[in-house]
Amino acid sequence: MSLYQLSKLLYTLNRDESAKQRFRDAPAALLDDYRLTAEERAAVLAPDIGLLYVLGVNGQLLMHFAALCQIEWSDYLQQMRDGVKRHGPVRAGIYAMTTSPDEKVAG
Amino acid sequence: MSLVFAGVASHAPGITGREERAPRAQRDAFYAAYEAMRVALDAARPDAVMIVAAEHFANFFMNNMPAYAVGMSDEYDGPIEDPEWLRIPHRVIKGDADLSQRLIRGLLDHVDVAYAEEWRFDHGIMVPLHFLDPDNRYTVIPGNINCQGPPLTPLHRAWAFGEAIRAAADALPERIALIGTGGISHWPATPDSGRINEAWDRAFLDKWVANDKAAMLAYTDEDTYRDAGQGGFEIRTFIATAAAARGKGTLLHYAPIPIYAVGCTAATMEIV
């Protein structure tokens, strides 16, 4: 697992306009700049917010990636819950879910 | 001249970005508290406002993560987020590289800080600025405590950082205001967003208002993570502010607003 590389990609996408443009125009080529596993790569390209969450991406990075992908706030929260249902508990990091996948806290 | 104002406030992006989804009365009460804080800040006539936030990978990342950083530029900008998402228009913010440099020299007598000649503000600074400086008048000095990427600086070092801010500010001819932004308990950007531990928040705020150093420094990150979520790590900005001000706090507002993902807080502290 290369969570650092995955996180760095999302960090760059959050702050760099040219990276955002590359992500829109030729996402696969942009991803080649990062050493990602096949699972991580597929999750970004889909985009599979739920899997990215389970892989351990920090929520502060994931929240902005979801916004970049035009995913509305409530849908963002739901996709993370669905990801935990589908892929199991969060595997790394400090943003693990503390409620149950069927619980809806707010939004 | 000295430190002339100290306060703390919430910075969650939902406060502006999802403002209409909270009950109107709750939103208005919190916004009114922020307005009261703006008036108090204005009355202190600061020459510069130092905002110590806990940023979220806007400028600092795990390739080179400073525990403490202070901006040193004549100009900043923000928000780094999509202005439509945060619902705060993009603006250029005045800095003062010379003042920053003198402040940082003072800090370095006591603590080690990184400096940054580039800094794009995220919601940690932009949400407070949106309310406290709607006309974009103030000269701003951004500060950051890493509360996102462990290992994190210990709480007693956050206290030392606050003491260093006080010593450095007191040695300057300018009038400096200090605003700490962040937490308290919250689980932001997770499916738990909206979970708020009100009892934990109120207990922490009691300690903060009393400026009880020993009680504030007694928290462990293990306990905070369990009881107050990863967002609770941001108590470091509150602790630094208390160390700088030395006085008692006045809580202007505290109320959980789940759709904003945080117990919405605004407070000032007497400078002693």
Per-residue pLDDT reduced to its tens digit, B159-179: 999 999 999 999 999 999 999
Neighbouring C-beta atoms of residue B231, cutoff 10 Å: 30
Whether the Cβ atoms of residue A31 and residue A44 lie closer than 8 Å to each other: yes
Q: Measured between alpha carbons, how far is B51 from B143 in angstroms, rounded to an integer?
A: 6
Task: Calculate how close chain A gets to B1, using CA atoms only, in Å.
Answer: 37
Whether the Cβ atoms of residue B78 and residue B122 lie closer than 8 Å to each other: yes
Going along chain B from its start, the domains and CATH numbers come out as 2-253 (3.40.830.10)
Whether the Cβ atoms of residue B92 and residue B126 lie closer than 8 Å to each other: no
DSSP string across A68-88: HTT--HHHHHHHHHHHHHHH-
Tell whether B87 is within 8 A of chain A (Cβ): no
Q: For chain B, how many helices (H) and strands (E)? A: 10, 10
Which of A34, A60, A90 should we substitute to test contact with B (largest number of B Cβ atoms within 10 Å)?
A60
> pLDDT in tens for each of the 107 residues of chain A?
589 999 999 999 999 999 999 999 999 999 999 999 999 999 999 999 999 999 999 999 999 999 999 999 999 999 999 999 999 999 998 888 888 888 888 87
pLDDT of residue A96: 85
Looking at beta carbons, which residues of chain A come within 8 Å of B148? 58, 60
Whether the Cβ atoms of residue B116 and residue B74 lie closer than 8 Å to each other: no
CATH fold, domain A3-87, is Protocatechuate 4,5-dioxygenase; Chain A (1.10.700)
Inter-chain CB proximity A14 and B120 less than 8 Å? no
Task: Calculate how close chain A gets to B104, using CA atoms only, in Å.
Answer: 26
Predicted TM-score (pTM) of this structure: 0.96
ipTM of the complex, rounded to two decimals = 0.91
Q: Measured between alpha carbons, how far is B100 from B239 in angstroms, rounded to an integer?
A: 22
CA nearest to B148, candidates B59, B19, B26:
B59
Inter-chain CB proximity B191 and A63 less than 8 Å? no
Whether the Cβ atoms of residue A98 and residue B195 lie closer than 8 Å to each other: yes
CA B185, B50, A58 angle in degrees (round to 5)? Answer: 40
Tell whether A38 is within 8 A of chain B (Cβ): no
Inter-chain CB proximity B18 and A107 less than 8 Å? yes
pLDDT in tens, B99-146: 999 999 999 999 999 999 999 999 999 999 999 999 999 999 999 999
Would the pLDDT of B1 be above 80? no
Please list, in sequence order, all residues whose beta carbon lies within 8 angstroms of the beta carbon of residue B18, skipping any fewer than 6 positions away.
A73, A107, B259, B260
Annotated domain spans of chain A: 3-87
Inter-chain CB proximity B193 and A107 less than 8 Å? yes
Facing A105 at nearest CB: one of B80, B192, B230: B192
CA-only gyration radius of chain B, Å: 17
Tell whether B225 is within 8 A of chain A (Cβ): yes
Higher-confidence residue: B224 or A107?
B224
